[in-house]
Amino acid sequence: MSGLFVDLHTHSTVSDGTDTPEKLVANAAACGLAAIALTDHDTTEGVLQAQKAAKEWGIECISGCEYAVMIENEEIHLVGLWAPHSSKPLQAALLAARQYRMDRNFMIIEKLQALGIDISIEDVAACAQGESVGRPHIASALQQKKYIKTSTEAFETYLGWQKPAFVPRTLTKPEEGIRLLAEEGATVVLAHPMLSKKMTKERLDDLLSDFKKWGLSAVEVYHSRHRNDAVRITLELAQKHDLLISGGSDYHGTTKPNVHLGIHGLGGRVPMLYLDKMKEHRRRAGLWV
């Protein structure tokens, strides 16, 4: 087994992270990581910049994105590794998701204004550096205007589930999202499954049976918010369903100060071995690596 380590779930300023793609790669190199995947929400915009920087630093950067689907009124997140920037169907789906985000941002702003808060879509746009704009940017605008002190406080007071300015996202069905990513050549990973409040081992077992039929390849076993029980359950079910193991920090930079690049919830690192196994699987399927 190689002694090298990877991080297969990271965010940059292109969505709701605070490091530019170049800075993220520089940080990854400084942490001694051999490879990262850039997996911004609903966009692959940062991938080319990140890959250019990775070449300079002598590390590997895998193209990726995080794409959400809806099951029983709840978001389920997928990470598409090797998500192709050149795929027209994938880019059309990501564009649609970003447009739904913008419609929702307007609805959230209206709710905040109705609560007497002085905030506009321009204030939010000024807090975003990339094309994928969402609640963390609204949280930054609220912070700049001194309505709240931290991003977490913005979610707990206004933006989170069941809070006064909450608006659900419009998302596709899991079969559509998984099939699209798989058909376009991505390795489809079920991201942080145990973060869902409704998730039990039995439910995850059922979901994985369906997801695998539609093209799921891997489960994110290691994640910054997966502790012992979550790792135990996801590892056992990944093996039961013959799915690959993935792992990443879900690093976002300063908006999630407790999440560190390259480190998962048990405090360890993700071995390169898991990335090597994904590559082997892709080569066997005739896919690029």
For residue 77, state whether it binds Fe ion (rule: CB under 5 A): yes
CB of 9 to Zn ion, least distance (A): 6
Distance in angstroms (rounded) separating the CA atoms of residues 168 and 149: 24
- Interface with ligand AMP (CB under 6 A), residue from 129, 152, 157, 196: 152
Total residues binding ligand AMP (CB under 6 A): 12
Distance in angstroms (rounded) separating the CA atoms of residues 172 and 152: 27
Angle at 71 between CA 219 and CA 209, to 5 degrees: 45
Give whichever of 153 and 276 is closer to Fe ion, judged by the CB atom.
Answer: 153
Report how far apart the first and last C-alpha atoms of the chain are (Å, whole number).
20
Closest CA to 64 of 280, 254, 283, 278: 278
For residue 19, state whether it binds Fe ion (rule: CB under 5 A): no
251, β-bridge pairs: 10
71, β-bridge pairs: 74
Taking CB under 5 A as the binding criterion, the range among 84-92, 109-117, 190-198, 280-288 that sits at the site for Fe ion is: 190-198
Query: Which residues 90-149 are close enough to bind ligand AMP by CB under 6 A?
Result: 134-136
Query: Which residues 238-267 are close enough to bind Zn ion by CB under 5 A?
Result: 250
CB of 171 to Zn ion, least distance (A): 15
CB 132 within 8 A of CB 47: no
Give whichever of 20 and 271 is closer to ligand AMP, judged by the CB atom.
Answer: 20
Give the up-direction half-sphere exposure of residue 103: CA atoms within 13 A in the CB hemisphere. 10
The residues binding ligand AMP (CB under 6 A) are 16, 41, 134-136, 151-152, 155, 160, 169, 252, 255
The residues binding Zn ion (CB under 5 A) are 66, 250
